[in-house]
Structure formats: C-alpha cells, structure tokens
Amino acid sequence: MSQQSGIARGLGALFPGPTGHRATDSASAGSDAPSGVMRMNALGDDFASAVATSESGIALIYKALDALVEQFALDDAAVVIEEASLGQQVFCAGRRPLGADDEELLVSAPGLYTRPALDDHTFDRSMMLTLCVLALRLDALRYDAWHDALTGLYDRRSFDRLLEMAVARSSRYGWPFTLVILDLDHFKIINDEQGHQAGDAVLRDLGERFRRALRFGDNAGRIGGDEFAMILPNTEPDLVPALLDRVRRAEGVESPCPGFSFGVAQCPQEATEFDKLVQLADARLYEAKQATR
Amino acid sequence: MSRPTRVEAVWSIDDLELELRKLPGVRSAGFDEFDDVLLVQLHVVDRQQKLDHPDRSDQPVPVSASRIAARHSDRPVTVEIVRWRNAPPVEPPLLAPASSETVETAETDTDEIAATRPAAITGTGEPARARLLAVLAFPDTDELEVHLVFDGRRTIGRAPVSNGIEGAVVATIDAVRDLGTGIDARIVWARAVEDVGDGNRSVVAVALDGVDARSPVRYGLSTGTSLIDAAARATLDALNRRLSRAL
C-alpha cells in the first residue's frame, strides 16, 4: 500500500462528497469551496468528539478505516501507529488478518496507507493519524484505570461497578449470580518473612490463576490488599468450592497456590442489594477465617 | 486482495483486541470467522519487548493470547501467531539489483494453536536490508529529509533541498551513516539521466567514493517518482553491496 505524502487537508474525505468519490480539494479550491471546508471541519470535530466520548478507541480507528475504504472504493486501508505504551501497531480495515501482500506494513513508518494510493489532496492524513493515536492512547488509559496494575484483574472501583450492574440485572431480569469474597490466609507472614516482593508475587500468581480458571462471563477483581472477589453468574453456591479447586490446580503457574478462605452470597435468593450482599459474603468469609485459626 | 469484511460479534471484540495488543511484541491483530470459530491472528515481533505489563512478559504469547481470547469469547477460538524475525545473514549478491529499491524482508514462521489455516505470510529468504521510507522536501524551510528503516530502527538524513539531487544523495548518505554502518561515502557527482515527471520516469545516476577500498568509485542508477526520490534510490543502489555486508 502506498502512504499519502505531504500535509493533507481534510478529514472530510473519509465521508461521501456531494458529487463523487473524491472529496473537495480544499487547498486547491480555496475560497471557492467554503462548504467543503466547513464540512471537513465539522466532520473533524465529530471524529474528535467521538474519540473523547466513545468507550472504544479501537472501534473508532476501524470505523475510520472502513469509512475510508467505503468512500473511495478502496481495496484496503491501514494505519500504522507508534504509541509509547503500546509500541508500533498496525490496524487494517475490517479487522482482517494480514495477508502475504501486507508484509511491508509491519515495518512501515507510522502513517496512513491505502490500496490503491490516494492523492495527497484528498484528506488530512496527519489529523487522522493523530486522532487514531489519541483513540488508542485513551483506550490504554481506560484499561489501566479499570484494572489492578499488579494482578491485571479488575480493581476495587471497577469491580464495585460490575457488582452494581449484576445486582441491577438480577433484580430486573431475575438473573441469579453468586458473589464470592476471598482472602489469603497468613498473607502477612509472607510479607513479613519473605518481603513485599514475595508477597506481590503471590498476589500476581493468584491473579494469573483466576484468569486461567474462570469461565467466560465470570469476573474477578482485587478489592483489597490480599482480598479478591468474584461474580459468578448462574452459579449455585455449592458449586463454588469446585471452581475454587480449579483455581488452585490451574496449570502453568509454577508457584504453589496460597491458602485462602472465602465467603459466598447469592443474589437474588439471599440478598437483592449491593451492601447486604457484600455484608453477607464478608460475614461468611469472617466465619471461614475464624475456622482456620 | 479481496475487499475486507467486518467481523461481526455479539460480544465486545474491542476489549479482546486491546488486551491482545498489550502482549509483548504484538504488532497487528486480525480477526476472521469460519463456521462457528473465531480466528485470531497475531503478528508478533520477537525482539520488541513491552514494559507496560511486566507480569506478562515472561508468558509465551501463544499461551497468553489463547487464554485472553478464551476469556473474552463464548465460542471456539483459534489463535494463530505469526512470528517475525530478521532473515539470517546470507552472502551479498554478486550484482546489484536492477532496481535500487531496497526492501527489508522478514522471515516468518507460525506457531499455531489448533489453527486450521496455513500461515498467512511466508519468508522470502532474502537478506534484511535498509529500506527507503520516504524522501520529503520542504521548500519553505529549504530542508530535504531522507527516511530509512532497518530492523525497526528509523534514521533521517538531512540536506538543503536547494541542493537538488546532490542534496538527496548527501541526505541519504547521512541517513545510512546514522544506521551505524561505518560507511563514510562521499558524493563525486549526481546526474539526472531522465526526468519526464510522469510517475516512475525520473532516472538519476550517482557516483560515490569512500564506499569500498577495492573500488574507489561506486556507481548507482535508479528510477524514482521524482528526481530527489530517484537520487536517494540511486545512492542506495551505489551502496548496495557494501550496505548488505555492513548491516
């Protein structure tokens, strides 16, 4: 694919022009094409606004690429982005897998590439590239904002939100779920005797076990120092021990699984409110904890 | 190439893709569907390590990717990993290619997990080369830039655009020098052989010295989309054999 060269002019070319495939060349049209310029500005604003408000920057990048392909009847379009936290990334229209014709994309400089080439007067390549980088960066920031940096699981804030939604869905549609709150046994001893690095490794490995053992639809979060919680849809409490046993036996984690205690609460059977549900699971965790001492 | 089709999914494929792209070295993610199976294709560059998720950096990408995909999908998933490595060094070509356009090649192999499709990309077996990315002219500031890439590293050579094709040659030598090749070439002359100004019809010949002790003057010839583009390519043509050894 060929990269557009030079400073391009308008994001409006991503979208249909009034008379054909090519959008107005605002640079050459100058004051003769004020409507074209306004159109480009408006669409640029729309894209920028979408980047700021959309929950998915990646989806926006693909949407822009797909619009480009559609508008200019292209065979393909791709954007190569270089972003500090994600490295160099290649996005192809349609989310398609790369084919034999795409080898160059993987070593190409950041930019917008199309097949066939578009002349460089048709759209603002640099603006589109900038917005794509921004969309991707926002995605990464959103991801980091919702996940615990140590374990990669949901953090307390996002888990609480997930739990609120689960409770709301349960009361609205009657969808049952079980809340599990889990606390490591004697974690303080690990920290005191082996150091915080060892403690962090234990937490990280447990997060890894959760990721490997939980099912599609289950959600796990780290809600405190050594405290974890899970939302298990359509799961009876008496099935929880078997699931946690799967967590203990998760393959691919070399370190032994730390001991833990847990408490469960069922929604809507036992509680239909967020606070009561958490209190109930917490109280049962406390009972289980006492039993281990 | 067939027109791309959009993957439709009832669950959020965006979250899946974002998480996959956070894996070390993942440069591209593609998705396809056949029957009830979701195919995930990842292109991974081995030597590019990412530091934002050190907890995952020691996990093999195929394992991590499969686990992530399974966690995000409620249907069967096939994960295809296409690894990119630099081609092993080979003897330099006896003759310079007819065209001086140099292309970095990459050897690939696939590490598929339950994949049912062949690898999308096959290796070419040619030596890795520096590749000309762009020749940019900025007349308003009298700057000319030649952009090269080799092994993921980009260099930019600069010269006054008012120096014309000689400037393009000097800028290309500058960019090659920044690649750490140790080549200290100098321009002897550069001539426009033909300039029709129609696509690839500009032809430039250059003569360089300081390239190779056994051959005091090296000549290069190339077409290009413009005179400066052709001059940059002709310079790489002249450097070609020495460059392939140096890199």
pLDDT of residue B91: 38
Contacting residues of B for A62, CB less than 8 Å apart: 6
Q: How confident is the model at residue A121 (pLDDT cuts 50, 70, 90)?
A: low
Nearest CA of chain B to the CA of A201: how many Å?
9
Nearest to B71 among A62, A100, A211 (CB): A211
Residue A63 predicted with pLDDT over 80: yes
**DSSP run (H or E) holding A219:** strand A219-222
Query: How many CB atoms are closer than 10 A to CB B198?
Result: 8
Question: pLDDT (tens digit, 9 = 90+) per residue, B105-160?
Answer: 233 333 332 222 222 222 334 456 677 888 888 887 888 889 888 777 788 899 99
For residue A50, the SS3 value is helix
Contact A216 B22 (CB under 8 A): no
Interface mutation target, options A1, A51, A98, chain B, most CBs of B under 10 Å: A98
Question: pLDDT (tens digit, 9 = 90+) per residue, A237-253?
Answer: 999 999 999 999 887 77
Residue A256, burial from CB neighbour count under 10 angstroms (0-12, 13-18, 19+): exposed
Least confident of A114-123, B14-23, B237-246: B237-246
Contact A143 B6 (CB under 8 A): no
Residue A153 predicted with pLDDT over 90: yes
Query: How many CB atoms are closer than 10 A to CB A48?
Result: 16
The first and second tokens of residue A206, run together, are 């447990």
Contacting residues of A for B45, CB less than 8 Å apart: 106
Residue A27 predicted with pLDDT over 80: no
Integer Cα distance of B215 and B225 in angstroms:
29
- Region A219-242 average pLDDT: 94
Contact A76 B4 (CB under 8 A): yes
Nearest to B120 among A69, A99, A139 (CB): A99
pLDDT of residue B92: 36
Q: How confident is the model at residue B86 (pLDDT cuts 50, 70, 90)?
A: low
pLDDT of residue A116: 85
Residue B201, burial from CB neighbour count under 10 angstroms (0-12, 13-18, 19+): middle
A 78-117: CB under 8 A from B: 85-109, 115
Question: Do you know the residue count of chain A?
Answer: 293
Complex ipTM > 0.95: no
Nearest to B169 by CA among B99, B230, B83, B94: B230
What percentage of chain B's residues is helix, strand, coil (to nearest 5)?
25, 35, 40
Contacting residues of A for B31, CB less than 8 Å apart: 95-97
Q: How confident is the model at residue B83 (pLDDT cuts 50, 70, 90)?
A: confident
Distance of CA B132 to the CA centre of its chain: 8
Helix axes A156-173, A274-292, angle to 10 degrees: 120
Backbone φ and ψ of A222, nearest 5°: -100, 110
Contacting residues of A for B103, CB less than 8 Å apart: 104
Strands lying side by side in the sheet with A227-233? A219-222, A227-233, A177-184, A260-267
**DSSP run (H or E) holding A112:** strand A111-115
What does the mean pLDDT of chain A come to? 80
Question: pLDDT (tens digit, 9 = 90+) per residue, A155-204?
Answer: 999 999 999 999 999 999 889 999 999 999 988 888 888 888 889 999 99
Provide the whole-model pTM. 0.57
Contact A91 B50 (CB under 8 A): no
Mean pLDDT highest for which of A19-33, A198-212, B35-49? Answer: A198-212
